Chains A and B, each alone.
Chain A
């Protein structure tokens, strides 16, 4: 699985968009990008995933660059409950396992 690089921490004002970057410059053509988040004392929660097209669901949007070497998770209107550690993962289909790094600690402030 390709390695990902994320900033250690970020702050965001409540009600504003939170843009969380992820670098995956060694990604290969059959690797998907997944985003999860983990709130203290809970298991990771799936947010969104994609291969090369931008994706949107009720939680967030995923923007993948054309060369697929980086992506951005967008939470359009951050709330205090979005404070969590956010993990960006790349995974080959069929590999099964997901390798989680240290993630980005997002703090949403009033």
Chain B
């Protein structure tokens, strides 16, 4: 089975802090994604990556950055956390590169609270 592991299930940080959310997948997938999930807004894509050191903006990249130095790891960075970034953050991965029709596999999420 595909395993996507997010470093924390729950995280509490303060406004203005730099926050790192880590995601690791064990299936050698080329593609990795970061979403946030909010009630009434569904899942919204923040950033994604088709390859090591590659990144592309999703629908809501403002206030976030990402890093992919190794194939199995995709990090989401909140440069200066704000209260409106309180959310559930979900990482996903899928095989096959940019033109793949293969499904995404998700981690269990990190519930982040910014105080």
Contacts and interface: CB of A to CB of B under 8 A. Distances in A.
A49 B109 contact: no
Contacts of A93: 99-101
A100 B101 CA distance: 16
Contact of B90 (A43, A97, A103): A43
B95 interface: no
Interface string A27-70: 00000101010000111111001010000000000000000000
Contacts, number: 55
Given A42-B109, A44-B90, A94 B99 contact: yes
B104 A100 contact: no
Contact of A46 (B42, B43, B100, B104): B104
A43 B48 CA distance: 17
Interface of A: 32, 34, 36, 41-46, 49, 51, 93-94, 96-103
Given A44-B43, A100-B42, A102-B42, A94 B98 contact: yes
Interface of B: 4, 31, 33, 40, 42-43, 45, 48, 50, 56, 58-59, 90, 92, 98-101, 103-109
A28 to B, nearest CB: 14
Given A34-B103, A43-B106, A43-B108, A96 B42 contact: no
A34 B103 CA distance: 8
B90 A32 contact: no
A96 B106 CA distance: 14
Contact of B109 (A32, A43, A94, A103): A43
Contact of B106 (A34, A44, A51, A102): A44
